Amino acid sequence: MAERKTILITGGAGFLGSHLCDRLIADGHDVICVDNFFTGAKHNIEHLIGHPSFELIRHDVTFPLYIEVHQIYNLACPASPIHYQHDPVQTTKTSVHGAINMLGLAKRLKCRIFQASTSEVYGDPSVHPQTEAYWGNVNPIGPRSCYDEGKRCAETLFFDYHHQHKLEIKVARIFNTYGPRMHPKDGRVVSNFIVQALQGEPITIYGDGCQTRSFCYVDDLIEGFVRLMNSPSDLTGPVNLGNQSEFTIRQLAEKVIEMTGSRSELISKPLPADDPRQRQPDISLATQKLGWQPATPLAEGLERTIAYFRTLLGA
């Protein structure tokens, strides 16, 4: 087994963070989960409470944290439009001040730090699929800017700390991820469709439904996180992590209706401002450098996710 480490995960009670807690504990490490529970949920990590390798701290990363660890995964930030647009100033502060505080901690400890960045740094892309070399097409003053530009600034800070202070950094750009423990009211397309289908409500499609997304199952993404964190120090990233299989939003809705046995109808609403028309990662770098690619087909991942929401909603 690899050397046992004490690992800090900010946003550790969130959708991705809680799965990462599980994985790292299973790998034999001690995990310190930090969350302010704005979008994280205690039920995501309640099965870990009392585990000898797990510790929970309620804390907001916009304030400094003084702690001793071997590695840091910085995942703290609301990641769905409904949540990050609720308090856009706080969203930007979480990305920027949170990055500064965690980078300062990593600098003091001389430890490796991982940044959960996002495909949103590419904005509404004019390059398809998106490679890490693409600089993006982002509106800096739109309703999504607090998240898009906050994450872009966080990447800048990570690379400036790397260049100026020789800090060991790892930056992952996450594409649409789904799976158990998604928030049922986060407004993301997979959870939206599944919840609406299970409750027999009309399924809401924004625009004509021809916009595309590529959906990566959470277990595959977490595997990518761990491989990137433990890769040679010269691989800083950014590295795209996502599934290259591309589907239209309408195709996803029809698939969810079929798999849930729902009688929900499709209804259309206007497309939100700055909503990307297409999103598909080029994962050549992750495949080449990490030996990583997603392994879970959409139907299999959706089956597990639907089962989770059935239990959660009692549907």
Active-site annotation, residues: 147
As to burial, measured by CB atoms within 10 angstroms (0-12 exposed, 13-18 middle, 19+ buried), residue 90 is middle
From the list 157, 90, 77, 160, the residue with the least C-alpha distance to 120 is 77
Measure the CA–CA gap between 254 and 250, rounded to whole angstroms.
Answer: 6
**CA dihedral sign, ordered 140, 141, 145, 150:** positive
From the list 186, 184, 183, 174, the residue with the least C-alpha distance to 213 is 174
Pairing of strands 169-174, 239-241: parallel
From the list 199, 297, 311, the residue with the least C-alpha distance to 255 is 297
Give, for 147, the enclosing helix (H) or strand (E).
helix 145-165
Measure the CA–CA gap between 279 and 149, rounded to whole angstroms.
Answer: 18
Task: Specify whether the CB–CB gap between 52 and 75 falls below 8 A.
Answer: no
Task: Specify whether the CB–CB gap between 44 and 75 falls below 8 A.
Answer: no
Pairing of strands 216-217, 177-178: parallel
What is the end-to-end Cα distance of the chain in Å, rounded? 41
Amino acid (one-letter) located at 86: H
As to burial, measured by CB atoms within 10 angstroms (0-12 exposed, 13-18 middle, 19+ buried), residue 312 is middle
| Stated length of the chain | 315
- As given in the structure block, the two tokens for residue 271 are 């497309």
